Structure 1
Amino acid sequence: MSERQRADARRNYARILAVAAEEVAVQGAGASLEQIARTAGVGSATVRRHFPTRRALLEAVSRERIEVLRARAQELTGEGDSRDALLEWLGEVVAYCVSARGLAAALAYDGAGTDPAHENSCSAALEEAAGPLLHRAAQDGAVPTAVTVADLITLIVGIALATEHYPDPAAQADRLFRLAVAGLSPQA
């Protein structure tokens, strides 16, 4: 491949990604790949060459948000109460999943792989980043030791996907997340 062809491929990738981010923001995870190709001024085959699956496209669109969440987990690790730090981070993940259409779908386990946490780069990045937060909370007895980051991400994805069509999805997702944290037992 010549330098000119590589430069064209990089421009196409950047254009497709920019258009995809806009389409996913409006349409969600089901954004039309054909519409993305038309708007980007490329053929469907070019989109599929850069992003062979819908998940690959959603992961690329979500990469910046995942990086922000990774950095935030690192900031919170070792700060204050371990349970509060973990819950603050999880609350931010919920808020991101609700506000950034397509992120929950990028994190969702689709059954294609054998390991839900490592089947995609988004989930693997969050698991790695949040591992120390969860480990510290488990050591402090704030969460059961059997809980995994993959469990928590699955819970958040479920909440985000279940509330995306509510009139105020952020408020409903936060309410359900708080309910999950508190549990159903009455407080003593």
Structure 2
Amino acid sequence: MRADARKNYSHILAVARTVISEHGADVSMRDIARRAEVGLATLLRHFPTREALFEALLCTNLDALTQKAGELEASDAPGAALVTWFREWLAFAQSYRGVVAMMAAAHTNPESALYASCAAVHSASARLLLLAQAEGTARADMNGDDLFALMTALGWAVDQPSFAPRADHLVLLLASAILTSRPSGDG
């Protein structure tokens, strides 16, 4: 990529991150181009679809989230690690309004640009659940799909203005529904 194209690419991503955090995932590509002070054709040359733009935006965040899960897998308290994972997920979900719905749709669509990133988060969640189950601190009657569905529901709920102030309480409710014993240090 030429230097000027790389600069435009980075600038568009930075502006898109700001615009989406302010107005949610439904913001138009035209609005993003306008705020980035580039033509719509320039935006579409870099990001031919809305999903391609979100993939580029979310990739860094999802990679960091997946890396955090890897760190949590090394914890000697898998139940507490699972609660920390819920909080990390929630912080991510709250960073871009509307992103949870996009991820839920992409999760089952291998053609989606977001599929690989969603699959990595799903796998990381399942591994953390398995560790807590092996320790005996998480319900044995659920699997990674169940956990991902609950995390998606939690992300959707706190995306609603009426539930956002109760985010941490909802994390603790979710944890109490999944964990068979309350891990120490969960706040």
TM-score bracket for the superposition, by shorter chain length: 0.7 to 0.9
Percent of residue pairs bearing the same amino acid type: 35
Rate the CA distance shift 1:18–1:99 in 2: closer, same or farther, 3 A.
Answer: closer
- Return the offset for 1:106: 4.6
The one-letter amino acid paired with 1:95 is A
Alignment-derived partner of residue 26 in structure 1: 22
Kindly indicate whether residue 168 of structure 2 is the aligned counterpart of residue 164 of structure 1. no
| Map of 2:129 onto structure 1 | 134
Structure 1: 5+ residue stretches without partners: none
Listed as ranges, the matches of 1:9-158 within 5 Å are 9-110=5-106, 113=109, 120-141=115-136, 142-144=138-140, 146-148=142-144, 150-158=145-153
Say whether the 8 Å CA contact 1:58–1:106 is kept in structure 2: no
Q: Give the aligned partner of residue 174 of structure 1.
A: 168
Q: How far off is 1:7 after superposition?
A: 2.8
Runs of 4+ in structure 1 displaced over 6 angstroms?
none
- Cα distance in 1, alignment partners of residues 42 and 117 from structure 2: 23
Supply the distance in 2 between the matched residues of 1:176 and 1:120 (Cα, whole angstroms): 27
Relative to 1, partners in 2 of residues 1:131 and 1:181: Cα closer, same or farther, differing over 3 Å?
closer
Give distance in 2, aligned partners of 1:58 and 1:15.
Answer: 15
Which digits, 9 at most, give the CA deviation of each residue in 1:138-186, with x for residues without a partner? 33342336411x44333223222233232561x32332232233239xx
List runs of 5+ in structure 2 lacking aligned partners. 182-187
Alpha carbons 1:62, 1:102 under 8 Å: kept: no
Taking structure 1 as the reference length, the TM-score comes to 0.76
Between the aligned partners of 1:66 and 1:114, the Cα distance in structure 2 is 17
TM-score (norm 2): 0.76
Q: 1:65 to 1:34 in 2, by over 3 A?
A: same
